[in-house]
Amino acid sequence: MGDSRRTLKKNMKILITGAAGNLGSILSRYIGNHEKDLKLILMQHRKEIANDIKNNTGVQVKSADLSKPDTLYDCLDGADIIVHFAGVLFKANPEKFLHETNTHYFKNLVSVAKDKQIKKVILISFPHVEGPTSRKQPASGRLDGRPVSMHAKTRLEEEVHLFNEIEKPISLRVGMVYGNGILMVDAAKWFAKRRILGVWKERTEIHLISKTDFCSSVVAAIRNENSKGIYHVGDEGNDTLQSFLDAACGIWRCRKPWQMPLWLIYLAAGTFELLSKVFGTKTPLTKDFIDIGRVSYYGDTSRFRSELLPELKHRNFNDGIEEMKM
């Protein structure tokens, strides 16, 4: 690999947005426990950072609001690299707010990062931004894709803006992260335990990555001084959404998911969204989740494996089953 994997100097300060959220908290905990030379600045808004994370040595918690650029200057002060997770997921009618909470808020962050002369920003993205892909025709790192869901469309807008504005932009297009404590996996488990987990009949290819390998991938992108561009993060497995849920239900000792007609799943999502809107609560399912979930996706990981993480801890889901039990 040579010079392409040259590591950065120690004691760099890493700012993580969305550190109180699901993947953000998992990464923050991982770095705090295993990467002691990396110092963390964790952005906190409404939801507080977990005590076990913020009490780690070398962790600072700073309050800021991505919708208010003036609050970001103090938060970004001293940061060398930004890892961006923050976003809104479990809320009704995402098409009405994602352009604001994804694209506009990210532009605020990038603007202040430039003012602070922060050269490296890592955006956590996903292969869906290229539209439907597969093992035969994998996502290749394009910025001119035609995504289907609003989540993917707005994330692509973020990517384009990042690559136009930042000197060392990185998009980690991460496949489906699996493991105990992953929000979407835990939601599927909740439904499965109540015998109401359903999935459509049409085969949907997915690209998996274990929780541990996901964290290692982000750390590798942080540490590699020369990392830049788009990396597809995934394992070597050959999985579908249906096969993953079948296997997961076996681990949870639940019946396999019901195969449901698509209209029924959309009806359920619409009902959840309506209840969320009426009662002001989070929703575990939206129609846009179904839109993005129906898209087959697989990324070309050759660059990721050569420059960031040559060896995975779990090469496929069978290797990583322990992650579902921890």
User: Beta-carbon neighbour count of residue 305 at 10 Å?
Assistant: 17
Bin 143: left if φ > 0, else alpha if -120 < ψ < 50, else beta. Answer: alpha
The predicted pLDDT at position 233 comes to 98
The predicted pLDDT at position 102 comes to 86
Identify whether the C-beta of residue 278 lies closer than 8 Å to the C-beta of residue 243.
no
The predicted pLDDT at position 3 comes to 46
> Is residue 267 classed as helix, strand or coil in its secondary structure?
helix
The predicted pLDDT at position 225 comes to 93
Low-confidence ranges of the chain (pLDDT < 70): 1-10, 86-97, 326
Crossing angle of the two packed helices 183-193 and 241-252, in degrees rounded to 10: 60
Q: What's the pLDDT tens digit per position in 71-86?
A: 999 999 999 999 999 6
Identify whether the C-beta of residue 178 lies closer than 8 Å to the C-beta of residue 325.
no
Q: What's the pLDDT tens digit per position in 34-67?
A: 998 999 999 998 889 999 999 888 899 999 999 9
Identify whether the C-beta of residue 168 lies closer than 8 Å to the C-beta of residue 213.
no
Largest CA distance in the chain: 57
Burial 247-285 (b: 16+ CB within 10 A, else e): bbbeebebeebeeeeeeebeebbeebbeebeeeeeebbb
The predicted pLDDT at position 276 comes to 79
Homologous superfamily of 10-175+210-234+300-314: NAD(P)-binding Rossmann-like Domain (3.40.50.720)
**Helix boundaries (H) for the chain:** 22-34, 51-54, 72-76, 98, 105-115, 150-165, 183-193, 211-223, 241-252, 262-279, 287-293, 302-307
Comparing CA positions, the residue from 127, 126, 101 lying closest to residue 45 is 101
Structure tokens at 72: 């970001």
